[in-house]
Amino acid sequence: MKFFIDTANLDEIREAHDLGVLDGVTTNPSLMAKEGITGEANIKAHYKAICKIVNDKVSAEVIATDYEGMVREGKELAKLDDKIVVKIPMIRDGVKAIRYFHSEGIRTNCTLIFSSGQALLAAKAGASYVSPFIGRLDDIAFDGLDLIAQIVHIYQNFGYETEVLAASVRHTMHLIKCAELGADVVTCPLKVITGLLKHPLTDSGLAQFLADHAKAASK
Ligand code: G3P
């Protein structure tokens, strides 16, 4: 399973990359705004900076919601770097834009997926990734992980190449369950990845090893 980090913060991206387990990055307009990145030139420069840090894909989202606008913006984003994946919302014109980009060999990530029907439509259109938002479903008392299971099952039934990119992943159990269910990618905040490190028996076991070593060495 690939690990993507869901942020536009360069320090966090560097930290995750330095850990040696990061595959890619996802961003969205809210995450870019959080970093104070505004204006077309700044936004493009920021995507380029992200691409320089990571080895694999970087999702960059269009702002337009009409077909022509999404195609125009998406083409410009794709030109920035080979690692760019054009992120397109699951709306009617978005489906058409995904089909267009597929025919042009430009990778897409269909975002704001909240049902297996939407995921099926995105795969039919030729999306490279679909992003089901599991945390936001949990927030309204629908089981986000059930959606991951449904999409993985449907894609396996028909051999769709679209990768399931679990998004809105809020904690380590989300990540682990996504791995069990066969999601191809998870995207999450850095703390979810570093949360995997933690186990009290690892800490106490290491303390014991070091104490025993020190005791033996002092004899
Ligand atoms: O990748 C989508 C993600 O940024 C949404 O996460 O926690 O705002 O639901 P969240």
Cα 198 to middle of ligand 1, angstroms: 23
- Burial track 85-101 (b if 16+ CB lie within 10 A, e otherwise): bbbbbbbebbbbbbbbb
Helices H / strands E in the chain, number of each: 11, 8
Nearest atom of ligand 1 to the alpha carbon of 168? 6
Name the closest-CA residue to atom 3, ligand 1.
168
Residue 109 in tokens: 């990530």
pLDDT of residue 6 exceeding 90, the answer is yes
Whichever domain contains 214, its CATH number is 3.20.20.70
Which residue has the least CA distance to atom 6 on ligand 1? 168
Question: Taking 90 as the threshold, does the pLDDT of residue 69 lie above it?
Answer: yes
Q: Which of 39, 13, 34, 40 is nearest to 25 (CA)?
A: 13
Structural contact between residues 65 and 87, judged by C-beta atoms closer than 8 angstroms: no
Give the span between the Cα atoms of 17 and 206, in whole angstroms: 25
Ligand 1 mean position, distance from CA 46 (Å)? 19
- Average pLDDT in the 62-77 region? 98
Can you tell me the mean pLDDT for 24-40?
A: 96
Torsion, Cα 98 100 103 109, to 10 degrees, reads -20
pLDDT band at 60 (very low <50, low <70, confident <90, very high): very high
Q: What is the pLDDT of residue 105?
A: 98
Q: Out of 4, 6, 171, 191, give the residue to mutate to test ligand 1, the one with the largest number of ligand atoms within 8 Å of its CB.
A: 6
pLDDT at 15: 96
**Vertex 112, ends 110 and 117: CA angle to 5°?**
75
What residues make up the domain containing 149?
2-218
The predicted model gives 36-64 an average pLDDT of 96
* Residue 204 pLDDT: 98
- 48 falls in which pLDDT band (50, 70, 90)? very high
What's the whole-number average pLDDT of the chain? 97
* pLDDT score, position 153: 98
Domains held by the chain: number: 1
- The residues lining ligand 1, judged by C-beta closer than 6 Å to any ligand atom, are 6, 26, 28, 131, 133, 135-136, 167-168, 170, 187
Report the separation in Å between the CA atom of 90 and the middle of ligand 1, taken as the mean of its atom positions.
Answer: 15
pLDDT on residue 219:
87
Catalytic residue among 48, 52, 83, 87: 87
pLDDT digits over 106-153, tens only?
999 999 999 999 999 999 999 999 999 999 999 999 999 999 999 999
Q: How many CB atoms lie within 10 A of CB 114?
A: 18
* C-alpha distances in Å from residue 37, one per residue of 28, 65, 72, 89, 181: 11, 20, 20, 20, 35
Let me know if 87 is a catalytic residue.
yes
pLDDT of residue 41 exceeding 90, the answer is yes
